[in-house]
Amino acid sequence: MKSRYALTFLLSGAVCLSTFSQKEITPEALLAPGYYIVVAAYRARSLDFVKRFTARVNRNGRHAKYGYDGIRKFYYVYLDYYTNFDVSIKEMLKTRKAGGFTDAWVRIMKTQRMNEKVNLLVEQNAGDSTPPEEKVQLKKEEEIKPVEPAREAVTLQQAGVTQVALTSNAAIIENPNTDSVYHPEILTHAPVFLSMHNPMNNSIVQGDIEVIDTERSRLISKVKGNDYLTLPDPKSKSGNLTLVGSAFGYRRLQREIGYTSTEKDTLQPYVALVGNYYMIKFDMVRLHRGDIATLYNVYFYNDAAIMLPESKYELNSLLQMMRENPRYRIRLHGHTNGSAHGTVVTMGERKNFFELTPDVKKGIGSARDLSRERAGVIRDWLIANDISPDRMDIKAWGGSRMIHDKNSVHARKNVRVEVEVLQD
């Protein structure tokens, strides 16, 4: 028998269920970052149904609320909200087991800046008025029933729910669409969720996972953390895989897992069977005194101590690290490709960190001078973002510590700034 409250997605293509106006989408309606136990999802024009469904759930003794995802234009009805991923998973499984909401799932909303596209979306639809012939007269509350799947329901995969969400550029991570698994399975039959998490503040960590064939010490693939993945079969005698998690500002963390012996691996504290998938946990640890991290994704214009715009993402990771750890003191080490003298371009009076403006200053200097200016411009950017100058110093190396031959295909990696933690 199907659940009374089967998870339902309502399409708004040919049938509009309510008008969509700016007043309906208020800041209070937006889903905040966290972990939600969701039991229903509706298209944006279905606010009346959302309210009625939420009220009906509450009348039946459950405490439900709803929130809005402006990028995907979905309303979500949810029972609970948590700041801890592990707790949310446990509570979701309890909800399924209790009955009534056997299709409940955990939606993960990540923290970042508000997406300006949402405001634009609301403004564009502020004057929208649905033609009368396209409106549906709502039935009385007692007569509302879940929409038949064959007509208007769509699956999670069809709805495209793995998206960027409202509060942020927030990634939405859904449970994989597989049959329930109640006994451990080998990885061929069960996907894994690669959870990268900072346990100190219960926040999601953006990073990468390297999948390595342990026996042959061979990199198989590199994937993003906090996503579902069917791990590859190494086709080796041992069947062992090594997973290495890395994120700027955190120590690299290694996990070992057996492709054909995953049942035994669940005895490890970092491997768990959760409903219909395995979760491999990477509880990331911030850098400590003496640790050095490289800003590989901070790039500079040729012969200049001015950064390319694509450097902002990793700079923001550095800034977040400094803000989360007010006791940190760091040293910025500047490096160049080679040791020749040449042109050195620095910022002008406009102090534009990411553009070669007409007022830039051009001079002649050594490779060490250039490396000092590049480390210095990152320090200046941090100061401009309210990091105290006495928490940072710089050291210039020029080309004395190259990691590749200056004429090799990897020579660009010699141009880098490293961050050393002096105090934590």
Number of alpha carbons in the 13 Å side-chain half-sphere of residue 26: 6
**Domains of the chain, each with CATH number or no CATH:** 9-171 (no CATH), 192-283 (2.60.40), 292-423 (3.30.1330.60)
Residues 193 and 178 sit within 8 Å (Cβ to Cβ): no
Output DSSP code: residue 286. Answer: B
Residue among 162, 192, 172, 344 nearest 275 (CA): 192
SS3 track for 287-346: CCCCCEEECCCCCECCCECCECHHHHHHHHHHHHHHHHCCCCEEEEEEECCCCCCEEEEE
pLDDT for the residue numbered 203: 81
- What the block records as the tokens of 308 is 């390319």
C-beta contacts of 344-349 below 8 A and 24+ residues apart:
344/303, 344/304, 344/305, 344/369, 344/370, 344/373, 345/301, 345/303, 345/304, 345/305, 345/306, 346/304, 346/305, 346/306, 346/373, 346/377, 347/305, 347/306, 347/377
Bridging pattern class, strands 34-43 and 105-109: antiparallel
Helix, strand or coil, per DSSP, at residue 246: strand
Q: Are 25 and 66 in contact (CB under 8 A)?
A: no
95-122 burial, b for 16+ CB within 10 Å, e for fewer?
Answer: bbeeebbbbbbbbbbbebeebeebeebb
Q: Are 387 and 379 in contact (CB under 8 A)?
A: no
Residue count of the chain: 424
- Per-residue confidence of the chain (424 residues) as pLDDT tens digits? 444 444 443 333 333 333 344 445 555 578 888 888 888 877 777 788 888 888 888 888 888 899 887 666 778 899 988 888 778 888 888 887 787 787 777 877 764 433 344 444 444 444 444 443 333 333 333 333 333 332 233 333 333 333 222 223 334 445 544 444 444 455 566 688 899 988 888 788 989 999 999 999 999 999 999 888 888 889 898 889 999 999 999 999 999 988 877 666 667 888 877 766 788 999 999 999 999 999 989 999 999 999 999 999 999 999 999 999 999 999 999 999 999 999 999 999 999 999 999 999 999 999 999 999 999 999 999 999 999 999 999 999 999 999 999 888 888 889 999 999 999 9
| Residue range 320-375, pLDDT digits in tens | 999 999 999 999 999 999 999 999 999 999 999 999 999 999 999 999 999 999 99
